[in-house]
Structure 1
Amino acid sequence: MPRRVILDCDTGTDDAIAIMLAAARPELDLLAVTAVWGNHAVEHTADNSRRTLDLIGRSDIPVYAGRGAPVAPPPGAPAAEGSPEPDLLPLPTATTRIEPQDAVEWLVETARSTTERFTLVPTGSMSNVASAVAADPSFVDAVEEIVVMGGVIERGGLLPEVETNVGYDPEAAQQVLDAGFERLVLVPIDTTYRAIVATEQCATLRDDGGVAAGVAADFIEQRIERYRRLPAMRGRAAAPVHDALTVAYLVDSTLVTLRPATVRVHTGDSPTRGRTDIAFDPAGAVRVAVEPDAPRFFELLRESLARLKPGPAPS
């Protein structure tokens, strides 16, 4: 039976690729996309999610818009800057509507009514998930596995001190860590930066044809232009596709090595607000993804996007 999956996204370019990847795989049953604030305001992340699904012929997958702000920021906490990408993805206007029900309400109702557990994949701020847990702590019982894209292991090097998904809403991230999910996997940026996609691989995606592969190649090339200026890339013509690697783990868990760890988030008005302390510990409750197999990840991405060929590329 396919794994039942809900993606909780702040959809920009890499979330969009993750949505396409999840929708392409027969091993996954994508129940819905719940949109949250983060990269952009929630009305834009919901619209981007809807546009992505309509583009690939999966209008049957619903999109719900959720929280548009952090759950409980301390007074004076700096506002998140968001993504430098445009608010709306350059995709055709959605042909189907965003669901009228609030995403948090839908998550809680789905957890209460389901007879089958599901996998939850937050790839943006964790405001929706923390709100669902606060509304009903038994929400965690319906989640077989939660796979979070967020956090950073090493500090003081080339990577940012604060990873944005955690940094957008540190209180929500810590609440999710403390919620008692049976299995929580964390995919930090240390790992996603080791599974980068290069310019020549974008050409390979286009060679496979199809609207999804072409759009993904465009998005990755946009990311390359932005990321090559960052210290971690050192001018290389390549970029991480963070959220796509997170979804790829659902398809093939051997793409990354998991190590148990304890994880704490710096919250409140601390000057280190949003940092993650990740300490590897055999008794740790969190499974942290390390050492990805980059060639196999790209091949899975390529083969998956090649399946999505509903029509000609948008003009």
Structure 2
Amino acid sequence: MRQKVILDCDPGHDDAINIMLACASPELELMAVTTTYGNVSLERTTYNARVIREMIGHDFPICAGAELPLMRNRLSAESCHGASGLDGPDLPKPVRDVEPMHAVNFIIESVFRYPHQIKILPTGPLTNLALAMRLEPKIIPLIQEVVLMGGSVDVGNWSPAAEYNILCDPHAARVVFESAAPVTMFGLNITHQAIASPARVDAFRKLGTRNGEFAAVLLEFFREHHEQRYGWDGGALHDPMTAAYLIKPELFEFRDMHVAVETQEGSSYGRTNCDYWRVLEAQKRSKVGVKVDADGFFALLTERIARFP
């Protein structure tokens, strides 16, 4: 039975790869891409989602969502993703527009229509999902799983303590982690194990297809920020771990931990405090990724992107 998924994202180079992976995988039924501000503005991330849909030739609905965080000022990651949020490749002009329904309403209606069947994959700020949970709390026990990219067991990337997606809206993240919904978390501690090295990027180019080249050019641009920041020879492929986990869970190792999001402004603002040693026995736990088979992960990505023209 195909798994029903909603990709809630802020495209984004690694978001683009995740959308491609979901569309190329018969294990998944992509209900929609819902967009949020994040890497760049909502207007731009929504446009980018339309561009990706046009590029890969799939016909999934797109619903635009939150423009701003719940309480803080909006951040931007143009230094990583470029002014467009998807700098690097030559992109087609999208034709089909977005759906009239707001992303938050789409999430609510989808969960009610398919109780215990929807898996939500947020790979940007968690504002859309938090708003859905606050507006209609009855959906929370009906969500099959939340599989998110955000946070870290150890250090941050946008501050010493915080990962970017969580720092964009710590209050929304706190709503999601404290909810009764099952949460699976892919943080920097695991996504930084999967680096798109030149050899791995070249494997996409060697497919000899338009979309293989698209993936390669995306990742070559994405490498620049990671070289400057970390001295790596490629970018970390954060977001595609969420879809890859649903397709091939044996690639990953997890540990159950209580995750508390710091919402007090200060040096630890936005930090995901992960109870690695299970000191807080009575607290709700999330399933937190700790290890990935990086070669197997990239082999899966290459095999699925090969299915595109």
Which ranges in structure 2 are unaligned for 5 or more consecutive residues? Answer: none
- Residue number in structure 2 paired with 1:136: 136
Q: Which residue of 2 aligns with 1:16?
A: 16
In 2: Cα distance, 1:130 partner to 1:236 partner: 34
Query: In the alignment, is the contact (CA less than 8 A) between 1:137 and 1:179 conserved in 2?
Result: no
Trace 1:50-65 onto structure 2 (pairs within 5 A).
50-58=50-58, 60-65=59-64
Shift of 1:106: 1.4
Whether the 8 Å contact between 2:13 and 2:85 is mirrored in structure 1 is no
CA–CA separation in structure 2 for the residues paired with 1:135 and 1:103 = 13
Aligned to 1:26: 26
SS at match of 2:92: coil
CA deviation map 1:74-118 (0-9, x unaligned): xxxx54233322225342111211111111111112222235611
8 Å CA contact retained: 2:34, 2:64 = yes
Residue equivalent to 1:186: 185
Matched pairs, number: 300
In 1: Cα distance, 2:40 partner to 2:11 partner:
8
Stretch of structure 1 that moved more, 112-121 or 221-230: 112-121
1:227 CA displacement: 0.5
For residue 275 of structure 1, the aligned residue among 271, 275, 284 is 271
Write the distance in 2 (CA, Å) between the matches of 1:158 and 1:129: 22
| 1:171–1:268 CA contact under 8 A, matched in 2 | no
Provide the residue aligned with 1:228 in structure 2. Answer: 227
What corresponds to 1:312 in structure 2? none
AA aligned to 1:197 is A
Task: State the TM-score, normalizing by the size of structure 2.
Answer: 0.92
8 Å Cα contact 2:35/2:46 also seen in 1: yes
Contact 1:10 1:45 in 2 (8 A): yes
Counterpart of 2:190, as a letter, is T
Of stretches 5-14 and 240-249 in structure 1, the one that deviates more from structure 2 is 240-249
The within-5 A match list for 1:46-195 is: 46-58=46-58, 60-73=59-72, 79-84=74-79, 85-89=82-86, 90-115=90-115, 117-155=117-155, 160-181=160-181, 183-195=182-194
One-letter identity of the residue aligned with 1:23: C
Change (3 A) 1:156 1:130: closer
Q: Which has the larger displacement, 119-128 or 141-150?
A: 141-150
For residues 79 and 8 of structure 1, the distance between their equivalents in structure 2, rounded to whole angstroms, comes to: 17
SS at match of 2:18: helix
1:197 matched to which residue of 2?
Answer: 196
Long gaps (5+) in structure 1: 310-315
Alpha-carbon displacement from aligned partner over 1:195-220 (angstroms, at most 9, x marks no partner): 11101221111111222221111111
Secondary structure in structure 2 of the residue aligned to 1:249? helix
Q: How big is the shift at 1:289?
A: 0.4
CA distance in 2 between counterparts of 1:113 and 1:158 reads 37
User: Hey, what's the Cα distance between the residues in 1 that align with 2:207 and 2:301?
Assistant: 11
Counterparts of 1:116 and 1:149, CA distance in 2: 21
Report the Cα distance in structure 2 between the residues aligned to 1:191 and 1:47, rounded to whole angstroms.
Answer: 29
Query: Deviation per CA, 1:5-39, whole angstroms, max 9, x where unpaired?
Result: 10000111110110001100010111100001111
**More moved, 155-164 vs 138-147:** 155-164
Higher mean alpha-carbon deviation, 222-231 vs 127-136, is at 222-231
RMSD of aligned alpha carbons: 1.9
Q: How far is 1:271 from its partner? A: 3.3
**Which stretches of structure 1, 4 residues or longer, exceed 4 Å deviation after superposition?**
156-160, 281-284
SS of alignment partner, residue 298 of structure 1 = helix
- 1:156–1:28: structure 2 CA closer, same or farther, 3 Å change rule? closer
Provide Cα deviations, 1:109-162, integer angstroms capped at 9, x if missing partner. 222223561110000000000000001011123311110100011138999521
Q: Which amino acid aligns with 1:223?
A: F
Identity percentage over the alignment?
Answer: 34
